Amino acid sequence: MGRIAQTDDLTDVQRDILAAVRTFVDKEILPFATELEHADEYPESIVASMKEMGLFGITIPEQYGGLGESLLTYALVVEEIARGWMSVAGVVNTHFIVAYLIGRHGTADQHSRLLPRMATGELRGAFSMSEPGCGSDVAAITTRADREVGDGDAYVLNGQKMWLTNGARAGIVATLVKTDEGADSVYRNMTTFLLEKEPGFGTHDGITIPGSIDKLGYKGIETTEMILTDHRVPAAAILGGADGRGQGFYQMMDGVEVGRVNVAARACGIMIRAFELGIAYAQTRRTFGRPIAEHQAIAFKLAEMATKVEAGHLMMVSAARKKDSGQRNDVSAGMAKYLASEYCHEVTTEAFRIHGGYGYSKEYEIERLYREAPFMLIGEGTSEIQKRIISRALLREYDGTR
């Protein structure tokens, strides 16, 4: 058999892109990732190379300076990058979601004004739904946008948002807030604003990015809060313009679907690398006169790990292809994210155990992966949220009352 986690029926262009990214990961990410991660240092040179390769615009249409590639291509690129260092994949994740939202739901002016700069990486995107008092319960957000008295064409935003990846370096933040649209459903009283801000920490025009949150893993890339204090924006900042009023929840859920494919891809990248490290160590570490890979206990672990990698990869690819075809993929994306993230944690833990005491040493790469894997369990919705989405769809499909 060939190496695991290969993808069938790719175009020559897709194969060329993935080959270039894999070479880039092997030469420019893997040799430096652990040192940068332990120092919690932003990978400036790596990101600069990603800009040169056009990765910030991989899905942005060619007319706006991007590569115009599919979600599948992007997901496979993310898988390769996460194999090198998951944090680097995070640099492009929220940026991609925001670019997708603008391309899918934005106005012609938002397309022409924002997408060309996003394609080059000059303008970076962040994505904001969560708040200190709510994560999965999106209906509980309290950040508000109120129409300015005497000026129906402007809004004033107040509130606090949490867990913004790229929160400091981003120049545009897709932000979900409550608005008073007079709808019966809370979900139709939410609007997404494209908040343009100065990159960096501090306060500018009512937007405060107070600092980076210290984390167990996912280091080297900033995760921040965002505090909005009487931040005034024109109605033109609404995603989709006037037609976007009250549509924020549905727009953001569309973005979350592609985000869940992204997290599944990142989980696949981590567990591919964990498997590579585990099987390499098992073939060199000797006990009782032979490599530990020849002991059945370890050999069976490797078989189970490889099977889980393959299963997670196949589900991620299937979910991406479904979205690319224009079909609704909330269930397939939820299944892919759920399975890949759970398997990622299991495979990484087994690779850690194969390393024995050395796995606990910061000199070994598996120590970093062991801290990164748990984030996949909660990013873009916990496993429990994915189960809720999946089960609701199953109960509709298999309605026993019909």
Which residues belong to the active site?
A: 380
Pairing of strands 172-178, 190-196: antiparallel
Please state the φ and ψ torsions of residue 59, each to the nearest 5 degrees. -105, -5
Residue 9 DSSP SS3: coil
Question: Directed axis angle between helix 86-105 and helix 248-284, to 10°?
Answer: 160
Please state the φ and ψ torsions of residue 134, each to the nearest 5 degrees. -155, 145
* Greatest C-alpha distance within the chain: 83
Looking up tokens 């040799």 gives 31
Looking up tokens 């060939």 gives 2
Residue 235 DSSP SS3: helix
Residue pair 48/107 in contact (Cβ under 8 Å)? The answer is no
Residue pair 106/154 in contact (Cβ under 8 Å)? The answer is no
Which residues fall within 8 angstroms of residue 343, CB to CB, at 6 or more apart?
267, 271, 308, 309, 311, 312
